[in-house]
Amino acid sequence: MIALTLEDLTRHVGGRLHLHGDDSPDTVVDGVLDTDSRLMEPGGIFVAKPGETTDGHLFIAAAREKGAVLAIVERMVDEPISQVVVPDAVDALADLARAVVAAVRASGDLRIVGITGSNGKTTTKNLLARILEDEGETVAPRASFNNEVGAPLTMLRVTRSTRFLVSEFGASAPGEIARLAGLVEPDIGIVLMVGMAHAGGFGGIEATFAAKSELIHALRPGGLAVLNADDPRVAAMAPLAEERGVDVRWFGRGDVAVQARNTEVTASGTACEVSVDGDTAPLRLRVLGEHHVMNALAAIAAATALGVPARVCIERLESVELAERWRMQPMGSDRVRIINDAYNASPDSMTAALRTLAQITAPHERMVAVLGAMSELGEYAGEEHDRIGELAVRLRIPRIVVVGSEARRLYLAAVAEGSWSDEVVFFGSPDEAYDYLVGELRDGDRVLVKSSNSAGLRFLGDRLGGYFS
């Protein structure tokens, strides 16, 4: 974070300053903010956020012992540390992020890119950050820091020398993207796709469209919207961009500014030809999955708009070995390959992962799909799990392992679609599935582990990867 006096920081968050020891209103703080006391560093600022299961105020002592010099709190705590009391710690984070980013923008050459979409945000963020980090100091979220806490914490990592801020905006309800993107008014907004992820919270696909459109409304006048031409709902955001006074840069597989042709998917990566404003060059991604080509195109579209030559973008993208842990992560060995993609799951990403499994498995190898529940689908959960079970059978996956009671509908749909005998099996827990799989898997198996985070299959994937390494 940029250096601020305690007085200025308190003013930005609308709080009351309570000093300790030798601190004064003119004392300067510039440490990293965090809500996790375990991640505190010397000079850091601890935000005591009440949570669903615990309360950050209980960990102020631990944060101080790790080096925190200031606590942002909702109530005073009897600890020897200066504290700023605010009505709401999460709102204070947002207010401080808005003020800090505005100050950096006013005094430097900061460019801000916001990314949203039902799938692919984290991968696109990582690909874009990899391109930009060689151009200048780049701040991007850790993991999937894209909510009301994670996004402001990322924004607060900017310094006076930061050239690029890449923000990822997730949401599970209307208005959340508007609130987060409104803190910084991005110069460039990337919309990847509008799908069924979080449809339960939004209330359907049209409401999801409206929520993702909030990023377009938050862009700075004169900015740029980077839109997926292959997604009709994303393409429908172009008139909104025009109303906002921003230009549109398209990416996709058709005749658009940034396009991909002749895509080939293998077990070692994905190759295609990329054309950027008429200039064509080959791209070979090490990241598994044809769907990641679109994420790469989005990153290239934004980076070239920021002045990075297309061939430089491609060269840097080809150096990326893994988009993110638990996202199409190869594990195991050549004997038994595990693909751990169990951090998030939606109908679209589940479909893409299953199709990738089919594409990268050679005729002499066996496909195995280990599938768990897709969360946050609300009233659509039943039919969407049915569809994935049916798809797995239609892709002729010979061994389908369904894990967890919330995914049982997927298992029943696969059985109804015509899966025979023990081709599809069901287990109530990851431990039961693990015991089955270590005895079932054999040389030449290619195993996809896919579910939402809440199903916990990412740890099953890790265990299988370790066992067969």
Binding site membership for ATP: which residues?
117-123
Closest CA to 226 of 217, 216, 218: 216
Q: Which two tokens stand for residue 344?
A: 């998030």
Closest CA to 452 of 207, 198, 231, 205: 198
Closest CA to 3 of 66, 37, 45: 45
Amino acid at residue number 292: H
Q: Which two tokens stand for residue 431?
A: 């431990």
Q: 145-176 in b/e burial notation, b at 16+ Cβ within 10 A?
A: bbbbbbbbbbbbbbeeebbbbbbbbbbeeeeb
156: Cβ contacts below 8 Å, ≥ 6 apart? 1, 32, 33, 93, 96, 97, 100
Q: Which two tokens stand for residue 43?
A: 């000079």
Measure the CA–CA gap between 212 and 15, rounded to whole angstroms. 32
Identify the H or E element spanning 12. Answer: helix 6-13
* Residue-level length of the chain: 469
How large is the angle between the packed helices 291-305 and 347-360, nearest 10 degrees?
Answer: 110
Report whether 411 contacts 435 (CB < 8 A): no
Q: Which two tokens stand for residue 96?
A: 């401080």
Q: What is the DSSP letter of 50?
A: B
Q: Which residues are annotated as a binding site?
A: 117-123
How large is the angle between the packed helices 430-440 and 457-467, nearest 10 degrees?
Answer: 30
In this structure, the number of other CB atoms found within 10 A of the CB of residue 242 comes to 13
Measure the CA–CA gap between 168 and 324, rounded to whole angstroms. 14
Closest CA to 97 of 176, 165, 192: 165
Among the residues of 27-120, which ranges form H helices?
60-65, 89-107
Report whether 257 contacts 304 (CB < 8 A): no
Q: Which two tokens stand for residue 315?
A: 């060269």
Report whether 168 contacts 115 (CB < 8 A): yes
Report whether 50 contacts 61 (CB < 8 A): no
Identify the H or E element spanning 121. Answer: helix 121-132
